[in-house]
Amino acid sequence: MMLESIQTSLSLFQPEIVLCATVLAAILVDLIFRRRPVIVAGTVIAGLIVTAVLVGAEVGVRARIFSGMYVLDPFAHFFKFVILGSALLIVLFSLASKELKTAPKRLGEYYMLLASMTLGMVLMTGASNLLMMYLALELTSISSYIVTGFTREARDSSEASLKYVIYGAVSSGLMLYGFSILFGLTGTLGIYELNQSLLSMPSINWTALLIAGVLALAGFGYKISAVPFHFWTPDVYQGAPVTITAFLSVASKAGGFAMLMRFLKVTFIDLASSTQLASGIWAMMQGINWPLLLAVVSVATMVVGNFVAIWQDNLKRLLAYSSIAHAGYMLMGLVVMSNQGFAAVLIYFVAYLFMNLGAFYVVMLVANETGSESIEEYRGLGYRTPLVGVSMAIFLFSLTGIPPTFGFIGKLYLFAALVNQQWIWLAIVGVLNSVVSLYYYMRIVRNMFLKEVDGRKPLVPISIPVPSAVLLIFLVIPTLGLFLYFGPLVDVAQAAVSMFGF
Amino acid sequence: MLTDFGRVLAFFLVGVLFVGVVLLLARLIRPHHPYEAKNRPYECGEEPIGEPWVKFNIRFYVVALIFLIFDVEVVFLFPWATVFAQLGWFAFLEMMVFIGILLVGLAYVWVKGDLEWDKPQPRLPHLERPQPVAHTAVGAREEVTV
């Protein structure tokens, strides 16, 4: 009987198995075709595409497999597409990166580690057992520690890697401690069983539960770089290769958010007294004021991210703080504890995928030519290389949330969800923070278009190979296009959230 | 009645108590003759040379890691072996996949050269002239044996 359940589970686990096989194939291909990393990259791309197709074939399936370790539902599928999509884009970015070419010997391993990071993130989206969550998180983290220090000849890269390891070890330790308290309270690790156990208990030790919840939040908060667990973010984002920074800022965050949302929604929802469940608003268990706790974290994250970003002159570091701020915006969607809020986060993630990856891609293209990420390099870029300048401006407008871009739609849904649930003050804080972010995003635009170009120096255009230009345009199109035609995506996101669980 | 964690606590307390009692008992019974040699670190009967805080070759670390991976593999193999007969071919295949994955790791380690122990090639002090004394000594011994 056990054997049968394993066999049915395996048949539903095909995408992840293919991704696993991709990692192994990448190792072997790298060993066989040495010093030809392009072949490894090709293997990884093929593996990612096959995985995405298999996930596509699973859409609509809802099941809980491997004795409750892993869940398949539309929510997980949505995030899997975001993660696989960004992984695919990152592999394409990496092929164009000059920074990575400094270590051609290890480049094959780089692609292999990208695939294993992706595997960890995909597992994060569906994990429904605390141990599975922890394992998925560690798989992602350990791979990312290594790729962060990939250009180990660069000093700040090694520094970033070490800081990341130490910080990651501490926060995953805290998270494990929180999990162990949860296990001690309830005697179970499955999140659905945790929920039932907590509800059926005659009396709960609320202090212990609060401590466990906050400690677990530390682990999730580290992954999504929420304040006060954000200290690693700027250094790691600055030190890591640009491609990895982009990947961490989008896919890793998506995995962390997926896991946090599932954990909160499944574990702490009060099904018994929840009469409003049909309307998409959930009653949380008494005892821990999750909405307020998350609101405080969200405000702190937004404020710290935005206000520190103002002072940055290194674009990678600036975008690191901006990504902290975006984690704050997305946390607002969790505060309301309703389907509408969660759907808004999902929509925001799609917007964030295109605009943030786009912005990092421009940073990479400029750094390829100039070897620097300083804001000074962007002076007059709009005239030197209009394609890059205009694209960057679009991505930055989108990150701010100014109308003709998809970023606006993402923010609109977030704020709508907040206002619907009477979180007016939080919405106001969010809007004010967007205004602050306008300043530092526009500083770059000003440097690209409005700042006086030094007349003595000739205007040197940045040479962009055709494939890179095509990829750039490919990122610009959804950033603008989804502003006009976002209906289907919103429907998919809302369906994904309402059909949460198995 | 003890809860599950109560039992853990009891186990812990008994452990602490046991160690304490044995140490105390030993202190009461044993002879007491301290001298300097007893305080030296034990090095298989050799005279200790130098500080114990020396730098180890980083390669020990790599070897330890490789060992750990294949050691843990065996931990998984034992429970599998006990139920293998009941589970049949499917379990066999599963374990082969698991070992196959580890073999990829072995291949990786092998190709990357981490199984080679590259010995350091120390520069020996070069002597300018041969030592005739030693030469004659060997020759003399040969004559005796012949």
ipTM comes to: 0.77
Q: Count of CB contacts below 8 A, A vs B?
A: 17
Q: What percent of chain A has pLDDT over 70?
A: 95
Subunit contact B104:A187, Cβ cutoff 8 A: no
Q: How far is B86 from chain A (nearest CA, A)?
A: 10
Q: How far is B108 from chain A (nearest CA, A)?
A: 7
Which pLDDT score is estimated for B28? 92
**pLDDT above 60 (res A364):** yes
- For residue A171, give Cα distances in angstroms to A138, A159, A302: 11, 18, 21
**B115 — pLDDT class (breaks 50, 70, 90):** confident
The packing angle between helices A290-309 and A206-223, to 10°, is 30
Dist CA B27 CA A350 (whole Å): 71
Burial of A94 by CB count in 10 Å (0-12 exposed, 13-18 middle, 19+ buried)?
Answer: buried
Only one residue has tokens 């605390």, namely A130
The nearest alpha carbon in chain B to A181 belongs to: B5
**A312-334: average pLDDT:** 92
Q: Which three-class secondary structure string do you get for A149-178?
A: CCCCCCHHHHHHHHHHHHHHHHHHHHHHHH
Dist CA A260 CA A281 (whole Å): 18
Contact in structure between A257 and A330 (CB atoms under 8 Å): yes
User: pTM score > 0.90 for this model?
Assistant: no
The packing angle between helices A406-420 and A315-335, to 10°, is 30
Which residue in the set B4, B5, B101 is minimally distant from A24, CB to CB?
B101
**A2 — pLDDT class (breaks 50, 70, 90):** confident
**A277 — pLDDT class (breaks 50, 70, 90):** low
Which pLDDT score is estimated for A330? 93
SS3 A314: strand
Give me Rg for the CA atoms of chain A. 22
The nearest alpha carbon in chain B to A1 belongs to: B87
**B58-70: average pLDDT:** 83
**A463-468: average pLDDT:** 86
Residues of B in contact with A3 (CB under 8 A): 87, 90-91
**B146 — pLDDT class (breaks 50, 70, 90):** very low
DSSP string, A330-394: HHHHHHT-BHHHHHHHHHHHHHHHHHHHHHHHHHHHHHHHHS--BGGGGTTHHHHSHHHHHHHHH
Dist CA A217 CA A178 (whole Å): 9
Pick A34 or A284 by higher pLDDT. Answer: A34
Residues of A in contact with B107 (CB under 8 A): 27-28, 31
Which DSSP symbol is given to B42? P
Which pLDDT score is estimated for B139? 46
Which pLDDT score is estimated for B145? 45
Tokens of B129: 């002239």
Longest dimension (CA), chain B: 88
Q: What percent of chain A has pLDDT over 90?
A: 58
Dist CA B55 CA A69 (whole Å): 44
- For residue A499, give Cα distances in angstroms to A44, A63, A191, A253, A422: 31, 12, 17, 22, 25
**B122 — pLDDT class (breaks 50, 70, 90):** confident
**pLDDT above 80 (res B133):** no
Pick B53 or B64 by higher pLDDT. Answer: B64
Pick A2 or A432 by higher pLDDT. Answer: A432
**A466-491: average pLDDT:** 90
Cis peptide leading into A228, omega within 30 of 0? yes
SS3 A78: helix
Which residue in the set B5, B87, B111 is minimally distant from A3, CB to CB?
B87
Which pLDDT score is estimated for A301? 94
Contact in structure between A463 and A383 (CB atoms under 8 Å): no
Residues of A in contact with B5 (CB under 8 A): 184
Mean of pLDDT over chain A: 89
**pLDDT above 50 (res A160):** yes
Task: Kindly report which listed range (A99-103, A453-457, B2-6, B65-69) carries the lowest average pLDDT score.
Answer: A453-457
A29's CB contacts (< 8 A; 6+ apart) are A39, A40, A43, A108
Which pLDDT score is estimated for A205? 80
Tokens of B57: 């070759």
**pLDDT above 60 (res A275):** no
Which pLDDT score is estimated for A381? 85
Chain A residue set in contact with B, beta carbons under 8 Å: 3, 6-7, 24, 27-28, 31, 184, 187
SS3 A240: coil
Which DSSP symbol is given to A237? H
**pLDDT above 70 (res B136):** no
Q: How far is B7 from chain A (nearest CA, A)?
A: 13
Tokens of B20: 């304490």
**pLDDT above 70 (res A68):** yes
Task: Kindly report which listed range (A115-119, A156-160, A389-393) carries the lowest average pLDDT score.
Answer: A156-160
Task: Kindly report which listed range (A170-184, A268-282, A470-484) carries the lowest average pLDDT score.
Answer: A268-282
Which pLDDT score is estimated for B84? 83
Which pLDDT score is estimated for A1? 66
pLDDT of A326-343, one tens digit each? 999 999 999 988 888 999
Q: How far is A25 from chain B (nearest CA, A)?
A: 9
Q: How far is B49 from chain A (nearest CA, A)?
A: 35
Residues of B in contact with A27 (CB under 8 A): 104, 107-108
**pLDDT above 80 (res A456):** no
**pLDDT above 50 (res B140):** no
**pLDDT above 70 (res A171):** yes
**B66-81: average pLDDT:** 87
Most confident of A146-150, B69-73, B115-119: A146-150
**A307-330: average pLDDT:** 92
Q: How far is A31 from chain B (nearest CA, A)?
A: 7
Subunit contact A31:B4, Cβ cutoff 8 A: no
Residues of A in contact with B91 (CB under 8 A): 3
DSSP string, B103-136: HHHHHHHHHTT-SS-PPP---PPPPSS--HHHHH
Dist CA A102 CA A153 (whole Å): 9
**pLDDT above 70 (res A172):** yes
Subunit contact B5:A24, Cβ cutoff 8 A: no
pLDDT of A142-155, one tens digit each? 999 999 988 877 78
